[in-house]
Amino acid sequence: MLVPTTLTSVFMAILLGAISQNHKPLCWVAKPMASLGFLLVALQAPTTFGTLYGRTIFAGLILDFLGDVLLINGDDLTFTLGLGSFLLGHVAYIVAFYQTGVTWTWFLLAMLPLTAFAVVVRNALWPTVPGDMKLPVLLYIIVITVMVASAVGSVPYSRHPRMQLLGVTLFFISDLLVAKEKFVDNSFLNPLVGLPLYYAAQHVLARTLY
């Protein structure tokens, strides 16, 4: 897995440089290449196509790759389409976690604090989210919250519970920074922190296939 990790690391560094200079053509090269790394991790795994868990995780990774590409342009339409692609990716992860088994007590106990935090996030974003994007953003917040709680609920049945929890937690934090960048504070600090967290999350989730 050294090659996929190196691929992501190198092109993520190039991507961050391109973002800092607002160099869109370079972003179009660097971001897909960086995201290709986590697909390669999954493609090398022995369980990717032989199990329902593997197939649904891989479907989520493909949808997230598409979301990465859609977010490059930065306009509201492609952002919404990218949001939809990531939302479907989270649904795929939810399906993967549920097919391994979920303890409802753990799921509900996780949902309580996660829902409270989701409400805080929603209230913080709402004043600056355009009217036509409020519903997609709300749906996304709900789905990613359920995704994290589902990962917690499936811990007793998971082959890699720590990796699973780490992956969804990093993903959740990186998404907060994407939302902050889009709606609150257009600062380079957001991708500088968020992109490494995002790519780490995807690589960790892909490695649960081993």
Please report which residue ranges of 128-160 form alpha helices under DSSP H.
Answer: 134-153
Q: What does the pLDDT read at residue 74?
A: 83
Q: What does the pLDDT read at residue 190?
A: 97
Instruction: Provide the residue ranges of all domains of the chain, joining segments of one domain with +.
Output: 2-207
Q: For 80-117, how does the pLDDT look when each residue is reduced to its tens digit (9 = 90+)?
A: 999 999 999 999 999 999 999 999 999 999 999 999 99
Share of the chain above pLDDT 70, in %: 100
For the CA atoms of the chain, what is the radius of gyration? 16
Q: For 8-41, how does the pLDDT look when each residue is reduced to its tens digit (9 = 90+)?
A: 999 999 999 999 999 999 999 999 999 999 999 9
Neighbours of 29 (CB within 10 A): 14
| Mean local confidence (pLDDT), 181-209 | 96
Q: What does the pLDDT read at residue 9?
A: 98
Contact 92, 56 (CB under 8 A): yes
Q: With bands split at pLDDT 50, 70 and 90, how would you rate the model's confidence at 47?
A: confident
The tokens for 39 are 């697909």
Q: With bands split at pLDDT 50, 70 and 90, how would you rate the model's confidence at 76?
A: confident
Residues 6+ away with beta carbon under 8 Å from 95: 56
